[in-house]
Homo-oligomer: A and B are copies of this chain.
């Protein structure tokens, strides 16, 4: 179960990863869990939020302290293998957007 990430005061960076899953499990859940674990170990990682509906459409947002941290995470070997499997097996479509968070507020603020 995902929860709302506790992030510092802006500015920081958000990677918005939107995807449509193919049919069938195909080993996805295990690797997704491992990637979440591995991302959390990277320098500059601030948090992650994820949601996927019954229709297979999902959004994962990961938060980072810098663009350099995002680039470094993209290049991690085990993550690159997962990216390839994503393209070839798990996603029928996806879009990735790298953005700079400028303002943020929550319930009661």
Binding site for B on A (CB under 8 A): 1-5, 7, 10, 14, 16, 18-20, 49-55, 57-59, 61, 67, 87, 91, 93-107
Contact = CB atoms under 8 A, between A and B. Distances in A.
Q: Looking at chain A's contact residues, is the secondary structure mostly helix, strand, loop, or mixed?
A: strand
Contacts of A19: 4
A20 B77 CA distance: 34
Contact of A107 (B94, B98, B99, B103): B94
Nearest to A94: B107
A62 to B, nearest CB: 11
Contacts of A98: 101-104
A58 B2 CA distance: 9
